[in-house]
Amino acid sequence: MKSKLTTILIALGMSALFSSVVNGSTIEITANDTMQFNSKAFEVKAGEEVTLVFKNLGNLPKAAMGHNVVILNPGTDVPKFGMGAVAAAASEYIPQDEATKAQVVAHTKLLGPGEEDTITFTLPEAGAYPFVCSFPGHFALMQGIITAK
Ligand code: ZN
């Protein structure tokens, strides 16, 4: 009787664990020395935690070819953000003024060659969330959209 109850409790615990994994989504993005993300379109569920694994597969030094992923709110002026980020070298090209910071949903660290970073975030509402690499000059090529449904 006692062992049966234990088995049921373990089964319940495992199914709770399993469903939490199923409910979240994981997306993986890589970047390289030719200023490219491997994929530019992702779809996630609004209001659900997303795990982003970002890898820099390049060989060039971070000072010349660093990469990050910066996720912006729907409707953000991406070229304006990208050009403004150039001045934010001290904070790895993430602008620290309040108005610009309010446009940023989440961001990874700036990665050098062979490095990776994992972040989690939630896109609160359905919409098209642009993402860019904010290293100077990269946003024009390195941008995409995460669609939350
Ligand atoms: Zn980049």
Q: What is the CA(110)–ligand 1 centre distance, in A?
A: 9
The residue extents of the domains of the chain are 2-148
% of residues, the chain, pLDDT over 70: 85
Q: In CATH, which superfamily holds the domain spanning 2-148?
A: Cupredoxins -  blue copper proteins (2.60.40.420)
Q: What is the CA(59)–ligand 1 centre distance, in A?
A: 13
Q: What is the CA(134)–ligand 1 centre distance, in A?
A: 7
Rounded Cα gap, residues 50 and 93, in angstroms: 23
DSSP, residue by residue, 32-45: -TTS-BS--EEEE-
**pLDDT tens across 100-126, in order?**
999 999 999 999 999 999 999 999 999
Kindly tell me if the per-residue pLDDT of 31 is higher than 80.
Answer: yes
Q: Which among 145, 148, 136, 147 is positioned nearest to 68, based on CA atoms?
A: 136
